[in-house]
Chains A and B, each alone.
Chain A
Amino acid sequence: MSAVVARAGGVFWLPVVLAVIAFVLIGVPSSWLTLTVAGLSMGLMIFLMASGLSLVFGLMDVLNFGHSAFVSFGAFVSASTLAALSGWLTSGSLTLEVLALALALGAAVAFGLGAGWAFERVIVKPVYADHLRQILITMGALIVADEVILATWGGVPLAVPRPSFLEGAVIIGDSSIEVYRLFAVAVGVVVYLGLYLMLNRTRMGLLIRAGVENREMVEALGFRVDRLFVLVFMLGSALAGLGGAMWAGYQTLITPDLGAEILVIVFIVVIIGGLGSIQGTLLGAIIVGLMQNYVGFLAPKLSLASNMILMMAILLWRPNGLAPAAK
């Protein structure tokens, strides 16, 4: 029985099970559809933010508590870019709007790449393989980054303009689905596929996966895992920035507290999914996204605690997460 379940995908059916249970509990198909799409889009945005953290940990055993700083910076950088290009957004020309959005997301990604490189060289490199100091130092970096955001953008909430082609909703049957959510799902899926192909079809991906599984062996074969690690760290930071930028557009109003809220959700996701694997992170992110939306609808008071309870339950069942990387 369990072998059959495992062959058919095993734990990867959990989101489907969750959706079916929710369908029964909610009972109204149109609300269910809206909530499911909302959950999926939220899950995929969280996936963007969490995947980098998970890979970085898997490859180098480095846990970056400052990861959420990239998310916050991504959100604020893209919001500022969009605000600066607001003329293009109101020009009514679709080309200019797409260009503005692309520039905003690109700015967040570029910032993530640059800041990720600097962060890895200055903050993380001196403390490889020393977990205690890693936690302390990245925590210190998070404090500094939050203060820099406060100093740069001030403590007031910042409104994020959206291109008009992402405004509004699609009506399917009785349920209305926000276009932005579909857009977020699309971006998430594209990034996931990109990561999947990169990890499974390229030489670099092969090295990364091998490094996650057994770093010493890859190093013994003559590959510089630490150089590879810088690239992975930059990629992870860039994805966090992209996730932050998407999240900013989703929230439309962002405050400097954004990073701290996200950090907790991202941690829960990587713990649930299992550290070091992209599939696990995607699974964890979708489960958390769906859970948050379903519970938020069924029992609003419980919505925050629900993810915590979920994490506790999964840890009791599988102490290493649902689908950790093979070690």
Chain B
Amino acid sequence: MKKGTLTVKAAALVIWALLLFAPFLFQDVRQIEVAARIAVFIVLVASYDLLIGYTGIVSFAHTMFFGVGAYGVAIALKHMGAGWGPVLLGTAGGVVVTALLAVAIGLLSLRVKAIFFAMITLAAASVVLVLASQLSGITGGEDGMTYKVPELFKPATKLFTDEAGKVVRLWGVQMNGKLAAYYFVFVIAAVLFWAMLRIVGSPLGTVLKAIRENEGRAEGIGYRVVAYRTAVFVIAAVTAALAGSAYALWLKYTGPETVLSFGIMIDILLMVVIGGMGTMWGAVIGATALVMAQYYLRDLMEVAAGATAELPLLPELLNPERWLLWLGIIFILLVYFFPAGIAGTIIDKGDRKAGA
């Protein structure tokens, strides 16, 4: 195997390993939040990479599908009470709605130019966002909704008890429902990621890359481009919806800001570009880098703003509220100078060295 590819895969596997042992390594509520968010976003970014990196489709509706999955579970749990039945029903409902929406949008607009598709998905996503905030009877409106999750995921639930009836501790970690919830999210993320790796490695993945490289030629060889595009759009959408369902179970809250907002779409775009388009492993690196930045860069900027409070202009620019400004600038520079992202650049460099 080439050196660069090896480095990237090793880095991604280290991240997965860290996520696997996260509850034991970082025994802090905030760190576990970060770990769960990374796991969910890895899936979200990888599924988006199926579209943008592997097939060359630019969609702005990915958060829409993520949100539909989350809202499916949230609405079912809110209106039917806690239990596994509502979870399954909500997930299934979210997946069905997602698939229908994706097929409708795909068949309608994947025939037209890529740019039309980007615009149409953007419009569709904004309409869904507005609907979610307006239909407050069903979705809880702007405030979103909180709900009870199945018994197993409640922090008070004891997975294992000792003779005294207390929660067993393993290396100082309580075997409680929070841990179960984390591993639930982790396993779902890992399985979905593995499934996408399989898709990319399968003949289907090769056809997708062919479509990205030269649509006309792919059509000429005899592949129905529209059918393949619609299929991959639906696969990516359903994966995003499943990630959304898992995230809704983890957060116990679903609202427009957390699962539907345009900000999340921008996050996904940033993660894909930072990690590297067209590499599943890049998604792991991109999602980790950006989530970490979201949680810790703001703290860092706060410190920096405090340290430079005497100077003119600098504190205003370093204001934690302005962090998106910096991300935007970094994003533009990345697209200019490292269009392959972190993973892509490492792979290129390492492999070229190995080949020479």
Interface residues, chain A, CB within 8 Å of chain B? 57, 63, 65, 123, 126-127, 131-133, 135-137, 139-141, 143-144, 147-148, 150-151, 260, 263-264, 267-268, 270-271, 301, 304-305, 308, 311-312, 315-316, 319-320
Contacts and interface: CB of A to CB of B under 8 A. Distances in A.
A135 B58 contact: yes
A273 to B, nearest CB: 12
B335 A140 contact: yes
A312 B115 contact: no
Interface stretch (B121-129, B202-210, B304-312): B121-129
A141 B335 CA distance: 11
A151 B322 contact: yes
Contact of B120 (A127, A144, A311, A316): A311
B56 A132 contact: yes
Contact of B324 (A126, A147, A301): A147
B118 interface: yes
B336 A132 contact: no
Contacts, number: 91
B68 to A, nearest CB: 16
B328 A144 contact: yes
A144 to B, nearest CB: 4
B314 interface: no
A136 B109 contact: no
Summarize A's interface: helix, strand, loop or mixed: helix
A270 B339 CA distance: 29
A50 to B, nearest CB: 12
A136 B127 contact: no
27 contacts: A63-B115, A127-B335, A132-B56, A132-B58, A133-B335, A135-B115, A136-B273, A136-B331, A143-B324, A143-B328, A144-B325, A144-B329, A147-B322, A147-B325, A150-B321, A151-B322, A264-B122, A264-B126, A267-B119, A271-B116, A304-B130, A305-B127, A311-B123, A315-B108, A315-B112, A316-B108, A319-B111
Nearest to A263: B122
A267 B122 contact: yes
B224 to A, nearest CB: 18
Contacts of A267: 119, 122-123
A131 B109 contact: no
B40 to A, nearest CB: 22
B58 to A, nearest CB: 5
B110 to A, nearest CB: 11
A268 B124 CA distance: 10
Contacts of B111: 319
A135 to B, nearest CB: 5
Contacts of A308: 123-124, 127
Contacts of A63: 115, 118-119
A320 B134 CA distance: 32
Contacts of B108: 312, 315-316
A150 B325 CA distance: 10
B133 to A, nearest CB: 10
Nearest to A320: B112
